[in-house]
Amino acid sequence: MRASTYRSSPDELRSRLHGLIRELNDEASRGAVVLVEGPRDEAALRAAGYSGPLIKVKALGGRARSLGETLSSEYRKAVLLVDFDREGSKLAVHIRRQLSFYGVEVDVRFRESFFEAFSGEVREVESLRRFTEEGSEGAGFQWI
């Protein structure tokens, strides 16, 4: 396994992650829901300290219409936190269109913030787990 190299220390990266999770929890406390792709993404966010409502969009099997109907009855805002790859980008566009149709505000700011905070090293939401206390041990990373 090739070791990844980061310019920041583990403590700095954990601090960035915790700051973003704190902001995400604040959004949830104001009535937002977080949308992720699947169960490993949820596990990574929960391990990092996210405690608000969360929906796994892939579990819906591409039924964005039902997602839009469901969310519009329960939430006014959705924070879209899908992977930072081509598939995630396509999914983000599709979900954003559907939710906007149903009047749900879609926030992609966190998706961009997570990507920037880790200098593009993290491409999948589930990879955030390696920056949590429990995920950092023995992960095969070289910190410089």
pLDDT of residue 65: 61
Taking only the tens place, the pLDDT of each residue in 21-76 is 999 999 999 999 999 999 999 999 999 999 999 999 877 665 556 788 888 889 98
Looking at the chain, the whole-number percentage of residues with pLDDT higher than 90 is 41
In the structure encoding, which two tokens stand for residue 128, read together? Answer: 């955030």
With beta carbons less than 8 A apart as the criterion, state whether 53 and 30 touch.
Answer: no
Count the alpha carbons within 13 Å of 120 in the hemisphere toward its beta carbon.
0
With beta carbons less than 8 A apart as the criterion, state whether 104 and 78 touch.
Answer: yes
Q: Where are the domains positioned within the chain?
A: 4-120
Instruction: Return the higher-pLDDT residue of 130 and 20.
Output: 20
CATH 3.40.1360.10 for the 4-120 domain, yes or no: yes
Q: Mean pLDDT for the chain?
A: 81
* pLDDT (average), residues 11-25: 89
- What pTM, to 2 d.p., does this model score? 0.82
Distances in whole angstroms, Cα of residue 58 to Cα of each of 11, 15, 62: 32, 29, 6
With beta carbons less than 8 A apart as the criterion, state whether 110 and 20 touch.
Answer: yes
Least confident of 4-8, 93-97, 127-131: 4-8
pLDDT of residue 141: 34
Helix axes 10-29, 109-117, angle to 10 degrees: 170
